[in-house]
Amino acid sequence: MTITGATRFGLLRQRDFRLLWIGESASSLGSSVTSVALPLVAVTVLDASAFAVSALAAATWLPWLLIGLPAGAWVDRLSRRRVMLVADWTSAAAFLSVPIAAVLGRLTIGQLVVVALVAGTAKVFFATAYRAYLPFLVSGPDLLEANAKLQGSEQVANLAGPGLAGLLAQLLSAVGGLIVDAASFVVSAICLTRIRRREPILARTPRRLRADIRDGLLLVARDPLLRSNTLYGCAANLCLTGYQSLIVILLIGEIGMSAGETGALIAATSLGGLVGAMVARPMAARFGSARAVLLGKAVLAPVGLLIPLADRGIGLALFVLGSVVIVAGIVAGNVVFSGFMQTYVPGEVMGRVTSSVQLVNFGAIPLGALLAGTLASAFTARAALWVMLLGFALSGLILLASPLRRLRDLPAGRLPVSSASAL
């Protein structure tokens, strides 16, 4: 029987979900530290250029383009929990190699890129398996609460992580932050190991990998709601990754902030994610789930144009305001739409559908990082930010032109199994 949240304290009273939540929170904290610590290592220890830092961000996401589709088909054939465990241990080993190389005096940009590629590959498998595993652990009516809690803790980690990375850089070195990240993946693996409930073994007809991949792609392409949200995610991620890959360059290189100040400021912007996770369910209840997605992802996006105005004094307040609003909107929209997908898509094809969506969404990320790095090298980081955030504001038009704008609520039913498996 799947977990239900019909207790006074909701899903956190349930042991298995609590273990998943603790493990995810620890891993998210470590990843949040790394998002700042890795570029700080490149900039402060190895004196990397803006393009090298952008290439490092691109390497983290490149595996989505290379193995995203087969990963989804493999996840549907394997134990999702076991896939997540292997990914956790692989990530821990990759990040631990950086401080070891630094102590030995052998650290290079090349190694950082390899670490980013290995950790990115592990993330492909973990994220795909995780989204397919959650509906087995939590019942359909509780998925919105589960996604809100998981994304809420992720945003708290995003709030604390950059500040912690900056503090570690001030007290020890930027390399020290990666030790925290490695430890976080160990905590996640231990928590996953202790989950008692085992996912059911799905009866599957032996098929070629190519046929499984095709099924996932066609389902996403033929369903108007899945298709429009996927195309939006592609455009939005391309622009937002370009913006995120240049934050450290802008704040340290152009504005002249210290590593500690940079970490604290980025942490402040992560408040938006916590706000978004908290308001997602009230927004869906008040306005309707479809309208909540539109409000969060499309209507609030233009506020991000305040970010390139960043400077000392009031300019920093504009930077924080723009970042908080767009992050809150994205997270709120993602919480609502993730819960919808996990009830809408049949479990036996969830891995393939997830990987198909994420291939398009995340495959654009390395392109966005490289584009932003190229623009910053040719002009300035601030000019590149204007281009990236204007593109993000316009990406909401994809959702406004979709069937989503005619709905109050997202469909409550499930796609027929025949539509998902007999494409």
Parse the chain into domains and list their residue ranges: 12-421
What pLDDT score does 4 carry? 44
Low-confidence residues of the chain: pLDDT under 70: 1-9, 140-141, 155-156, 158-163, 168-172, 200-207, 209, 413-423
The CATH class that applies to domain 12-421 reads mainly alpha
What pLDDT score does 418 carry? 53
Cα(first)–Cα(last) distance of the chain, in Å?
30
What pLDDT score does 123 carry? 84
What pLDDT score does 8 carry? 47
What pLDDT score does 63 carry? 84
What pLDDT score does 422 carry? 41
What pLDDT score does 49 carry? 76
Q: Which two tokens stand for residue 129?
A: 């398996």
Long-range pairs, 375-380, Cβ under 8 A, ≥24: 375/242, 376/50, 376/51, 376/54, 376/246, 376/249, 377/49, 377/50, 377/51, 380/254
What pLDDT score does 298 carry? 92
What pLDDT score does 13 carry? 79
Q: Are the CB atoms for 126 and 84 separated by under 8 Å?
A: yes
Q: Are the CB atoms for 164 and 263 separated by under 8 Å?
A: yes
What pLDDT score does 423 carry? 43
What pLDDT score does 162 carry? 64
What pLDDT score does 235 carry? 92
Nearest alpha carbon to residue 289 among 407, 159, 418: 407
